Amino acid sequence: MSVLQARDIGYSYGDKAFSLKGVSLSLEAGESAALIGPNGAGKTTLVKILAGLTRGYSGDVLLEGKKIGAYSDTKRASIVSYIPQTDNMTFEFSVREIVGMGRRPYINETGTLGKFDKEKVTEAINYFGLESKTHSSYNALSGGEKRMVLIARAFAQEAKLLIMDEPLTYLDVKNQSELMEHVLKLNNTGHTILMISHGINLAAEYVKRVVLMKDGRVEADGTPAEVIEEGVIRRVYGLENFYIENNKKTGKPNLFMIPGGQGQNQNIQKGESR
Amino acid sequence: MKPKAAAYTAISSLLLLLCFAWAISSGSVPVSMADITGFLLGKTGGSNYDIVMKIRLPRIIFAMLVGGMLAASGAMLQALLRNPLVDPFITGISSGAAFGAACAIIAGVSGLIMPSIAGALVTMYVVYRLSVAYGSLSVSRLLLIGVMIGSFFSSLIMMLNAIFSKDLVKVVFWLMGDLSNINPGLAMYGAVLTVVVLSMAIYFANDLNIMATGDDEARSLGVRVELMKVMYFIFAGVLTAVSVALSGVIGFVGLIIPHITRFFIGPDMRSMIPASFISGAAFLLCADTIARTVFLPSEIPVGVITGLIGVPVFIFLMNTRKDA
């Protein structure tokens, strides 16, 4: 069953510099997909529409078969969670306070957490290994820990669909790997994942499906092997100096750059003289 | 309320009580605490009865109400705009409210609260719209535009005063604040409005907490962000406007008090709003007592005292914050 279905989505900003031009996309329950593409492709605009955060688009977004706009804000929030790129916050909320906000769809405006809600918050904190940081200020955490807190909040939110906007940005390799392991774990426990990523290789390794966008359109959509392919990458990114080779351990396609500038036709086909 | 917030609120309440005792016993005529206690418990008569019950007590209640309103309004604005450097004075909202009230006086309209609210809300809208650059709110623009709009309205008030030669109470009342013009009817009306606004603001304050983490986050968690923004702008505008109608433009209470309160209890607005109200009440009562007793028999506008404390605090905060 489709958790999320986007049909012919069009969106235009005032200056028309960035827009979406008839994007259609469907996510099945339990699927994990990465949205990749050059800067300005419309990825963030698309995920915000899919998460029900942006209005004024043409076309339809169906969440569990029903138009997303037909849901109440809290009901929608109990199904889909959006994790933006957030660095520091203006005020010093603690980790527990931030994760506790994930229970908003299930409580009233006063924000009073019941026993069950408190247990869910504790469970989310423990699940992501944040026990020792429970009372720390969010702003005092490292970049990796901050992302983990936001994912823990989404976990406490109990949404089936997690939409993440570039969760790996500014993270070192270890943090990227840890975060993706947690994402994988969530996917394995039934969560549907859609994440924007500039890390093509990480996307290839951790998700089952890659959607490649350019200029407001979906250019390719399929398994990592189908999308991370030399012809597609060359056409979409305009790259010349790269090669693609399968990871020897996982068999997933990885993209490697060759220093020396573009346009020098230095592509090396798989298995060529290296 | 968390234990830290409850402790801070209890200490603030105790300070408020001490300020009350100081304020009611201080002035050109010293009155003993025994007499004051007697008057407060219902004893009448005596030469000091009128001084305590008809002059000092109403003024004290006035100062507490205005200080509380300004501090609560500042706390809401800071959360709403995600910046601890804003307050009703710096953003020009107080001056807009004062201009609304001044226009009402010239037009001969009875009742200053509604024109003040109109002035505050229009100013708030204009400042907010002008501060949005490239689709997002620029805090540096907001502060600059707020200061400019504040000066603009101050000039307009002085101009109206000159053109119409009307008694706008005193120009200094609108520009520097003054708690000596006590209008009990207006104060009662303002107090009722304050209770209603504060109750609603505290009820919905958890959504304001979530919004302080970002609009998209809040929407994603089910918060009706646009509705909440409008509501809290109105709450902050109404509290500011009522305080201006009662006492003129008193600066910096809404800046200093929420900042100190947040430092002690954290940013949770469910505790911040009531705790800021109590601390603001204590602070302005203290400032007003200084204003009316330090240069006896003269009295200086209370805004002078809050300005003398507020400006250095503002500069300190601006220098210590990266986002300022």
Domain residue extents for chain A: 2-238
B216's tokens? 């998209």
Q: How confident is the model at residue A211 (pLDDT cuts 50, 70, 90)?
A: very high
Q: How confident is the model at residue B173 (pLDDT cuts 50, 70, 90)?
A: low
Q: How confident is the model at residue B169 (pLDDT cuts 50, 70, 90)?
A: low
Q: How confident is the model at residue B27 (pLDDT cuts 50, 70, 90)?
A: confident
Asked whether the beta carbons of residue B84 and residue A91 sit closer than 8 angstroms, the reply is yes
DSSP type of residue B111: -
The residue-averaged pLDDT of A66-72 equals 92
E strands, B27-135, are: 132-133
Q: How confident is the model at residue A261 (pLDDT cuts 50, 70, 90)?
A: low
CA distance A103 to chain B (A): 8
pLDDT over 50 at B254, yes or no: yes
Q: What is the pLDDT of residues B180-191, one digit of tens each?
A: 777 778 888 888
CA distance A183 to chain B (A): 19
**Residues with Cβ < 8 Å from B121, sequence gap 6 or more?**
B233, B234, B237, B241
For residue B220, the chain A residues in CB contact (below 8 A) are: 51, 53, 77, 80-84
Closest CA to A229 of A241, A244, A239: A244
As a CATH number, domain A2-238 is 3.40.50.300
Domain ranges of chain B: 3-320
- How large is the ipTM? 0.87
pLDDT over 50 at B107, yes or no: yes
Asked whether the beta carbons of residue B221 and residue A105 sit closer than 8 angstroms, the reply is yes
For residue B269, the chain A residues in CB contact (below 8 A) are: none
Q: How confident is the model at residue B168 (pLDDT cuts 50, 70, 90)?
A: low
Asked whether the beta carbons of residue B224 and residue A73 sit closer than 8 angstroms, the reply is yes
B306's tokens? 């809050």
Q: How confident is the model at residue B46 (pLDDT cuts 50, 70, 90)?
A: confident
Closest CA to A79 of A117, A126, A34, A27: A27
As a CATH number, domain B3-320 is 1.10.3470.10
CA distance A168 to chain B (A): 18
pLDDT of residue A12: 86
The residue-averaged pLDDT of B251-279 equals 92
Comparing alpha-carbon positions, the chain A residue that sits nearest to B203 is A110
Comparing alpha-carbon positions, the chain A residue that sits nearest to B207 is A109
Q: What is the pLDDT of residues B270-321, one digit of tens each?
A: 999 999 999 999 999 999 999 888 887 778 888 888 888 888 877 787 777 5
Q: What percent of chain A has pLDDT over 70?
A: 92
B67 CB burial (10 A radius; 0-12, 13-18, 19+): buried
**CB contact A76 to B (< 8 Å):** yes
For residue B80, the chain A residues in CB contact (below 8 A) are: none
The mean of the pLDDT values for chain A is: 87
Most confident of A196-205, B9-18, B50-59: B9-18
The residue-averaged pLDDT of B121-126 equals 90
pLDDT of residue B276: 96
pLDDT of residue A26: 93
- Out of A99-103, B84-88, B204-208, least confident range: B84-88
Q: How confident is the model at residue B53 (pLDDT cuts 50, 70, 90)?
A: confident
Q: Is A244 in a helix, a strand, or coil?
A: strand
Q: What percent of chain B has pLDDT over 90?
A: 35
Asked whether the beta carbons of residue A91 and residue B207 sit closer than 8 angstroms, the reply is no
Asked whether the beta carbons of residue B206 and residue A110 sit closer than 8 angstroms, the reply is yes
Closest CA to B271 of B80, B75, B87, B85: B75
Give the CA dihedral A26, A29, A34, A37, nearest 10 degrees.
10
The dihedral built from the CA positions of residue B113, B275, B226 and A69, taken in this order, carries a sign that is: negative
For residue A86, the chain B residues in CB contact (below 8 A) are: 213-214, 217
For residue A89, the chain B residues in CB contact (below 8 A) are: 212-214
Interface of B with A (CB under 8 A): 79, 82-84, 203-207, 209-210, 212-214, 216-217, 219-224, 262, 266-268, 270, 323
Q: Which amino acid would we find at residue A116?
A: F
Q: What percent of chain A has pLDDT over 90?
A: 51
For residue B321, the chain A residues in CB contact (below 8 A) are: none
Asked whether the beta carbons of residue B216 and residue A94 sit closer than 8 angstroms, the reply is no
The CA distance from B273 to B208, in Å, is 11
Comparing alpha-carbon positions, the chain B residue that sits nearest to A113 is B206
Q: How confident is the model at residue B166 (pLDDT cuts 50, 70, 90)?
A: low
Q: A with B: how many residue pairs have Cβ under 8 Å apart?
A: 85
pLDDT of residue B135: 64
Comparing alpha-carbon positions, the chain B residue that sits nearest to A93 is B267
Interface test with A, best of B139, B202, B220, B271 (most A CBs within 10 A): B220
